[in-house]
Structures are given as C-alpha cells and as structure tokens.
Amino acid sequence: MSKCTPTPRSLLKWLIPGIGIKRWLGFLLLGATLLGLGLAMLLVELYRAQPASSWLIVVTLGSWPLWLRACLAGIAGVALVGLALVQINRSILAPLDTHNISLVEAMLERKQGQRGPKIVAIGGGTGLPTLLRSLKQITSNLTAIVTVADDGGSSGKLRRELGVLPPGDFRNNLAALARDEGLMAQLFQYRFGEGGLEGHSFGNLFITALSSITGSFEQALIESSRVLAIRGQVLPSTLSDVILMADLREEHSNGTRRVAGESAIPKTAGSIERVFLQPDSVPAYPEAVRTILAADLIVLGPGSLYTSLLPNLLVQGIVNALRASKALKVYVCNVATQHGETEDYTVGDHVRAIERHISGQVFDVVLVNDHFPSLMEEANYTYVRLGEGEEHTLGVRVSKAHMVDEQRPWRHSSEQLAKAIQALLDDLGS
C-alpha cells in the first residue's frame, strides 16, 4: 500500500494536537449536522403534509422503529464522513505526491519542525552527513553550514573547469538531509564509472547545471533541496572562491613548507602547524550568519580537523557570529586520528588547535567518545582519547558518550551521536 493511501491508523493522526485540523473537523461535523437537521425538518413537514405518500415512507423509513432509524442514520453519517476524509486526503495530495508521504504525515512533520530546536551544524567531508542523519531525527529546524575549500576529485575538476563552488560536500549533505534517502538520494550520489563523465557524480553535475540555469550557486542549492525534499537547509560558509593553505613542519628538520589545496595537505609529509585561506579575508554568507545568531544549538564536527572544520572557522564572519550567538556551542571531537592531519592527537590537541586558529575559546562543550572497540592490526589510526588531566584543564565542559560505529570504528555512529546530542538538549531544557 502506498504511503499516500490513508489507513485507519493514519486517519487517527488527524486528531493529534497541534496540526490545526480538529477545530475545522468540528466545524465540518457541525455543518453536516445542521444540514442533516434541516433536511430532516423538511422531510417531516412533507410527511405531515402527505402522510400516505409511499415515496416518503421509503425515504424516511417511516415503518421502522425510531431507535433503529437513528442508529442507521448515525452509522451512515460516520461512514460518509470517513469516506470523505479519505478521498479528500487522496485527492489533495495526489498531484503533489512526489515524496510518498500522506497529507497528515506531511502536516505533522511541518508542525514538529516548527516546534523543534534550531540546530546549526558546521563542517564538511564525510563527518557532517553522519551528524545530519542524527540531527534530522531530532528536528527539521536544521541548517548545515559547509566548507567551500574542497578541491579534489569531481568537485575540484568542476571548480577548475567551470568556475563553480565545489558541489561535492553540498551534494553529500543534501542527500543526508533527504526525508527519504531513496531513489532520488541514491541518484544524487551515483558516480559514473566510465566514459567522459568518469569520476563525476550525478549530483555534482546537477548542482553545477542548476547554478548555470538559476544564475547562482545558492539558488541551485535551494532548488536541489526541493528536489530531495530535505529536512532543513544547506548553506555555504562563504560564496568566495578560496584556497586552503597550510604551513607544515617538515620531518627531521626545523623548517616549514607551505602547501596549497585542501586535497594536497593530508598527502604532504610533515605535521600541520596552521591552515589559512587565500584570500584571507572573505565575507561570510549572510544567511549562514543569521542562522547561527538564531540557533538554539550549534555543533561543529565530526570531520577532518584541518581540511573540513577549520576552513569554516577561518571565515571571520562565521567566528564573529559564533561568539555573538547565545546558543549552546558543541564541538564533536573525532573518535579516531586521521593520517596526514592528526596523528597522535588527544582530545586536548584538537581543542587547542581550534582555539589557536580562532584566537580563543568559543565552544561550551566538547563531546568525546568513551567506547573503544579492539582495532585491527593493520589499522592506520588510533582512538582519540583524553590526555592526562585534560578533562579538567581544557576550560570547556567535557561530555562523554559511546559514539563509535562498531562496523567502522574510525567513524561516529549516527544513532549513538543522536542520543548524545539529545542528552545535551535535554540538559539545556531542564
């Protein structure tokens, strides 16, 4: 059965408080009752005027007991009202049903989204989609702010050849926020394996084409959001064409080496001392700033510290908005170290790297994993743990929770992350 075909259980959802329908159902029933009463009065007058008329006896069931006639009228009324609601639901939704969801479910989702907390998630890469899949279970008032520094793979090629902002991270996050990660979301993520389009994903090409058709990258994101019927919105941290730069300390020497390009940084030997944008002063995307200032909760991470998270914070307008925001600000520390970026890092090393780049502290809570399954011998990573005494010396509240994906222990579990963030929200509301 299609989701847009009402069932008895779904019909009961019309009675859930808050969707603004019960009062109008009451008016509908009152109107039907008054109409029925008027018709009954008319039949009574006709019957009195022509008591022997056979057609009136049939219509009014005049030969049947009064209680039986009343019961039959009530049953028929309820059946007709129920049938009417089913058909109204089906008829209204049929031309709009592109997302396989019933009208009442759509209304409930919209109402729940209006009541849900306003959450902003900041990041990029593979970490942010994991976070969004957890957050969309909590609220539809959800905004993802995404880095535009990506220059590798399909995104980098489109960026260099067509001059668009890199669409890859936006594509991944749009798919993660889709109401139903079904066929359309899978189509967005489809990557061509051969021919002239080899290496490109359909979603990257779609967003790029929409940028040309609509005249702007941000409008392309809006139209893509409609196609996927996402919960929330996806915004760039800036619309400027930026290059991520890094100063790396070379191994076995005191010298430093400057590397250009987000994709090149993790592949270059040496430890990262700092990253910065070129140009170094770019305006933040205004809508991203507005959502940060209006947020109840702001979450940074998980994700590659230097190439996915910090590029957003290097946009000065984003950091200024974070400092001005009254929201609870949470940094989700990675569960595992990353080759080429954070080898041997503790939780404190991650926090201090952020503070060093933004000249101070901005986050209220650091969310840390405390579950460490056994690692394979060939693993090229270790778990990120609190260093000795760091829980009490970081200057931020440390919240610990089991957040590891048992199948991929170098990543967060979306379900466990959702529980940990919900616990923080519960504390915020208490």
Model pLDDT for residues 68-112, shown as the tens digit of each residue? 666 777 777 777 777 776 776 666 555 554 445 555 565 555 555
pTM of the predicted protein model: 0.78
Q: Is the pLDDT of residue 50 over 70?
A: no
- Going from the C-alpha of 299 to that of each of 135, 359, 385, the distances in angstroms are 10, 19, 20
Q: Is the pLDDT of residue 54 over 70?
A: no
On whether the CB atoms of residues 146 and 257 are closer than 8 A, the answer is no
Tokens of 59: 């219509």
Contacts of 429 (CB under 8 A, 6+ apart): none
- Going from the C-alpha of 331 to that of each of 26, 177, 305, 427, the distances in angstroms are 48, 20, 11, 16
Taking the C-alpha atoms of residue 125 and residue 102, their distance in angstroms, rounded to an integer, is 34
Taking the C-alpha atoms of residue 130 and residue 149, their distance in angstroms, rounded to an integer, is 19
On whether the CB atoms of residues 294 and 286 are closer than 8 A, the answer is no
User: If pLDDT is split at 50, 70 and 90, which confidence band does 19 have?
Assistant: low
Phi, psi of 56 (to 5 degrees): -70, -35
- What dihedral angle (degrees, nearest 10) is formed by the CA atoms of 203, 208, 210, 215? 160
Please state the rounded mean pLDDT for residues 126-135. Answer: 92
Domains present along the chain, CATH in parentheses: 8-104 (no CATH), 116-148+281-429 (3.40.50.10680)
pLDDT by residue (tens digit) across 402-428? 999 999 999 999 999 999 999 999 988
pLDDT by residue (tens digit) across 86-96? 776 666 555 55
Residue with tokens 């957890």: 134
- Going from the C-alpha of 324 to that of each of 205, 210, 233, 256, the distances in angstroms are 37, 34, 22, 35
Supply the mean pLDDT for the chain: 85
pLDDT by residue (tens digit) across 230-261? 889 999 999 999 999 999 998 777 788 999 99
Strands 271-278 and 243-249: antiparallel
* pLDDT on residue 97: 47
Q: Is the pLDDT of residue 327 over 90?
A: yes
User: If pLDDT is split at 50, 70 and 90, which confidence band does 32 have?
Assistant: confident
* pLDDT on residue 17: 65
Phi, psi of 166 (to 5 degrees): -65, 120
Please state the rounded mean pLDDT for residues 294-306. Answer: 96
Percent of the chain with pLDDT strictly greater than 70: 80
Please state the rounded mean pLDDT for residues 124-150. Answer: 92
Q: What does the H/E/C string look like for the chain? A: CCCCCCCHHHHHHHHCCCCCCHHHHHHHHHHHHHHHHHHHHHHHHHHHHCCCCHHHHHHHCCCCCHHHHHHHHHHHHHHHHHHHHHHHHHHHHHHHCCCCCCHHHHHHHHHHHHHCCCEEEEECCCHHHHHHHHHCCCCCCEEEEECCCCCCHHHHHHHHHHCCCCCHHHHHHHHHHECCCCHHHHHHHCECCCHHHCCCEHHHHHHHHHHHHHCCHHHHHHHHHHHHCECCEEEECCCCCCEEEEEEECCCCCCEEEEECCCCCCCCCCEEEEEEEECCCCCCCHHHHHHHHHCCEEEECCCCHHHHHHHHHCCHHHHHHHHHCCCEEEEECCCECCCCCCCCCCHHHHHHHHHHHHCCCCCCEEEEECCCCCCCCCCCCCECCCCCCHHHHCCCEEEEECCECCCCCCCECHHHHHHHHHHHHHHHHC
Q: Is the pLDDT of residue 277 over 90?
A: yes
User: If pLDDT is split at 50, 70 and 90, which confidence band does 33 have?
Assistant: confident
On whether the CB atoms of residues 201 and 154 are closer than 8 A, the answer is yes
* pLDDT on residue 368: 98
User: If pLDDT is split at 50, 70 and 90, which confidence band does 312 have?
Assistant: very high
Q: What is the largest CA-CA distance in the chain?
A: 115
pLDDT by residue (tens digit) across 204-240? 999 999 999 999 999 999 999 988 888 899 999 999 9
On whether the CB atoms of residues 11 and 82 are closer than 8 A, the answer is yes
Taking the C-alpha atoms of residue 413 and residue 339, their distance in angstroms, rounded to an integer, is 20
- Going from the C-alpha of 369 to that of each of 22, 44, 224, 384, the distances in angstroms are 45, 76, 34, 8
